[in-house]
A = this chain, B = another copy of it.
Amino acid sequence: MGGLFGIVSQTDCVADLYYGTDYHSHLGTKRGGMAVRNAHVFHRAIHNIENSYFRTKFEAELASFHGRQGIGVISDTDPQPLIIGSHLGTFGIVTVGRINNLDELVDQAFARKGNFSGTSDGIANPTEMVAKLICQQDSFEAGIEAAQEAIRGSCSLILLTEKGIYAARDRLGRTPLVVGRRPGAFAVTSESSAFPNLGFGVDYFLGPGEILRLTADGYEQRCAPGPRMQICSFLWVYYGYPASEYEGINVEEVRYRCGAALARRDDVQADFVAGIPDSGIGHALGYAGERKLPYRRPFVKYTPTWPRSFMPQNQEMRDLVARMKLIPVRRLIEGRRLLFCDDSIVRGTQLRENVQVLFDCGACQVHMRLACPTLIFPCEFLNFSSSRSTLDLAGRKIIKKLEGAEDRNLDDYARAGSAKNLEMIEHIREQLHLSSLIYQRLDDLVAAIGLPREQLCTHCWDGSSYF
C-alpha cells in the first residue's frame, strides 16, 4: 500500500507537510519521504522507517526544510520522492500503486536508450519509471495521461512543479485522493483523516483518472475523470483509518454497518462482544450495538510502545514479539463465552495464537465473525504485503487440500452458503480451534459500504475484474 500527501500554501507549509505525511504511517512500514520547493530549489529527504517513526526520523532535519509547496509519502516499496530534471522543468514526484508490466516498460525505455539512475538490486524504481513516462510527453498533463495508459496495475501520484502541485488518481480509482481546503492553502491526501487536525476541510474527491492542478489560490481540473471505477473495498474493511472518508463514505461508519450486518444474521449466545485490536474494533462495536450485547476488551493493545510493528533483528526476538502487542485480561476471559469480530483472515497464524491465549486464560467459547467474505483471490492491483501470495491465504490452502489442486472450483468456494463454501469455512474454523466462525456475505458488505457493486473492486473475494 502506501500513502501520499501534498500541500500548497501562501505561507510556509513544512509543519503541515510533516504532520500530514505522518498521518499516513498506518499505510506503510518501509520508507518515508518529503520534498519541498522554494523558488527554484528543491529540498528532499528520505528515511527508512522500519525501526523508528516517520516523525522521529525527520525531526532533526526539519529546520532545513523551507517552502510553500511540498509533497510527502509513506512507501512500502521504493525510495521517494524523486526530484527529476527534465525538459518539462525540474519536478518532484510521489506515487502509490503497483505496476504489473514494469519489466516491459523498462525494456521499452532501454530500447529508447533511456537509463535509470536509482536502480538497485537490478530492479528499476517504479516511481522513476512513472517519471520517465511523463517526461516522454510535452506537458505534465499529457505525460500523466500517457503514463496511466501505459501502466497495467494502478498508480495514483502527486507532482511538485513550478506551476503548482499536480494530483492524479489512478485510472480506475483504486486508490483515492481527496482535496482539502483551508484559508490560504490547499492540500491533497490519500487519507482524509490527515485533514481535521491541520485545519483542512474535505473539499473534493478526485474521480478515477482525474488530474487536478493545485496552487495556493485554488485548483483546476486538467483532465476529467473516466466513466468507470473500481475502488478497493478493503480500504473500508481494513486499510483505512477510522476517521477517513472515500467517495464521501466514512470508514468507521462502514465498520459499524459491517458489524451490524453480521449481527443481524447471528444468534449465537455470548457473554460479550470484543474486537481484535485495532482493525476489528469498529466492526465489533457495530455488532455489539445491533445485538445489544456488552462490548468488552479482553485483549488490550500496549499502545505506549507497541503502536506498530518495528522489526527486531533476530528470529528468537521476532517470535517473542508476535506475542507481545496484545495483553490478555484474564479476569474478563475466564469462564466466559467470547464473540470476537475482526476484519478478515489472511494466513490465520496470528489469530490462531490469539485464540490459544484466550482458551489458556480460561475462555469457555471463542466465536469469530469476519467483516468480509473468505479471501480467495490475491490482489493484483495494489501492493499488498508480500506475504499475501496465493497459497498464504488460509482459504486457498484449504481449497488445495480439498480439491488436490490450487485453483479448482474457486467460484463455488466463493459463493456464500454453497456446500463447498461452508466446507471450506468449517475447515478454517477447525484449524483455528474456534467455537464458531462466520464470514460476512459479499452482498452485505457491498450494502454496508453503500456504493454500487460495479464501482467496487471485490476481486479478492469473487475474482471479478470488471475492467
Contact = CB atoms under 8 A, between A and B. Distances in A.
Given A84-B117, A110-B87, A332 B40 contact: no
A237 to B, nearest CB: 16
A85 interface: yes
B295 A285 contact: yes
A241 B300 contact: yes
A268 interface: no
B241 A302 contact: yes
A201 to B, nearest CB: 9
A449 to B, nearest CB: 14
A267 interface: no
Given A54-B305, A252-B329, A243 B85 contact: no
Given A53-B305, A285-B295, A113 B135 contact: yes
B136 A117 contact: no
A128 B114 CA distance: 12
Q: Kindly name the residue among A85, A125, A135, A292 whose own CB sees the greatest number of chain B CB atoms within 10 A.
A: A85
Given A300-B243, A317-B15, A305 B25 contact: yes
B115 A132 contact: yes
Interface stretch (A208-216, A306-314, A384-392): A306-314
B300 A303 contact: no
B292 A285 contact: no
A151 B210 CA distance: 43
A133 to B, nearest CB: 10
A334 to B, nearest CB: 11
A85 B250 contact: no
Contacts of A22: 305
Contact of A56 (B51, B106, B288, B302): B51
Interface in A343-368: 357, 361
A21 to B, nearest CB: 10
Contact of A113 (B87, B120, B124, B331): B87
Contact of A85 (B106, B282, B289, B330): B106
B117 A118 contact: yes
Interface in A244-301: 245, 250, 252-253, 256, 278, 281-282, 285, 288-289, 292, 294-297, 300-301
Contact of A243 (B116, B296, B329): B329
A378 interface: no
Copies in the complex: 4
Interface string A95-136: 000000000001000110111111111111100100110011
B285 A296 contact: yes
Given A110-B87, A300-B252, A307-B304, A327 B193 contact: yes
Contact-residue bracket for chain A: 35 or more
A109 to B, nearest CB: 9
A251 to B, nearest CB: 9
Given A197-B323, A297-B242, A116 B86 contact: yes
Contacts of A220: none
A329 B303 CA distance: 20
Nearest to A15: B320
A391 B455 CA distance: 58
Contact of A120 (B26, B42, B282): B42
A82 interface: yes
A19 interface: yes
Contact of A304 (B26, B44, B304): B26
Given A52-B56, A245-B331, A332-B250, A131 B117 contact: yes
A15 B324 CA distance: 12
A221 interface: no
Contacts of A332: 250, 252-253
Contacts of A54: 305
Contacts of A40: 121-122
Nearest to A361: B196
Interface of A: 15, 19, 22-23, 25-26, 40-44, 51-56, 59, 82-87, 90, 106, 110-111, 113-125, 128, 131-132, 135-136, 193, 196-197, 241-243, 245, 250, 252-253, 256, 278, 281-282, 285, 288-289, 292, 294-297, 300-308, 310, 312-313, 316-317, 320, 323-324, 326-332, 357, 361
6 contacts: A22-B305, A82-B117, A84-B115, A86-B110, A116-B117, A252-B332
